[in-house]
Amino acid sequence: MEPKITDSHCHLDFPQFEGELPDLLARAAEAGVHRMVTICTKLRQADQVRALSDAHAPIFWAAGTHPMSAAGEPLATVDDLLALAAHPKMVGIGETGLDYHYTAESMAVQQESLRIHIEAARRTGLPLIIHSRDADDDMARILTEEHRAAPYTCVMHCFSSGPALAEAALDLGFYLSMSGIAAFPKSQPLRDIFAAAPLDRILVETDSPYLAPPPHRGRRNEPGYVAHTARAGAEAFGMDYAAFAAATETNFERLFTKVRDYSIAP
């Protein structure tokens, strides 16, 4: 029996998985992946993402406007996000954040959208799910400003930024999530950032269908492969895999309290 583990971030509504969900969930269970959070990146797609969660016990969901879509989608409102959060298996706000790699021209609306999502995270008590690429300085500044104004919880999803942003996030009490990037052979500097972080702030994810870890690199990713990333994490921390998996489970339930409470409800 494989140790239980959670894929804290995936995209099961994406077309790469169409018609395959039952087989995908069976493979995940065989790998020990007993839960996953699928992420809605455009609010107009919330109904279909929610339906996946309603239909399958292991699937929880979160919703937000991805920063790369912020300029092309209606600006989310706090009320929009609060209404979605009323669903019993809607467990996080986002993903939101800043992406200046391809969409730097929309940085102003990305920042506005980010602050709206932060306010929704405060009001709901749900964790904020952050995407950050090539925007470390602005990301650290906004997260810190907003946290000083009023606290909220947060995970830096698919963390692959530098040590300064990691330190800023950890100083705020936030979590860092390891994706398949952390298992790539040339990612030792990133593994070093994770290994220097407190173990009780580490999550694991796939970001599937993207970023498959070895031995599946270059192919479509799926939730069951998070076990490969977790094994790389265990090695980075000098830990037995079962112990590392158990630590990430505890961390996930501490942050995603709505999942924990749903799972133990009678």
Tokens describing residue 136? 């470390």
Residues of the chain with pLDDT under 70: 265-266
Amino acid (one-letter) located at 116: I
Q: What residue has token string 């470390």?
A: 136
In the chain, what are the domains?
Answer: 5-264 (3.20.20.140)
Q: Identify whether the C-beta of residue 125 lies closer than 8 Å to the C-beta of residue 162.
A: no
Average pLDDT in the chain: 97
Query: Which pLDDT belongs to residue 1?
Result: 82
DSSP 176: E
Distance of alpha carbon 37 from alpha carbon 28, whole angstroms: 13
Tokens describing residue 5? 């583990």
What is the tens place of the pLDDT at every residue in 48-86?
A: 999 999 999 999 999 999 999 999 999 999 999 999 999
CA proximity to 165, closest of 140, 148, 146: 140
Query: Which pLDDT belongs to residue 264?
Result: 73
What is the tens place of the pLDDT at every residue in 84-115?
A: 999 999 999 999 999 999 999 999 999 999 99
Query: Which pLDDT belongs to residue 266?
Result: 61
Could you tell me the end-to-end alpha-carbon distance of the chain, in angstroms, rounded to an integer?
25
Exposure string of 225-241, with b = 16+ CB inside 10 Å and e = fewer, is bbbbbbbbbbebbeeeb
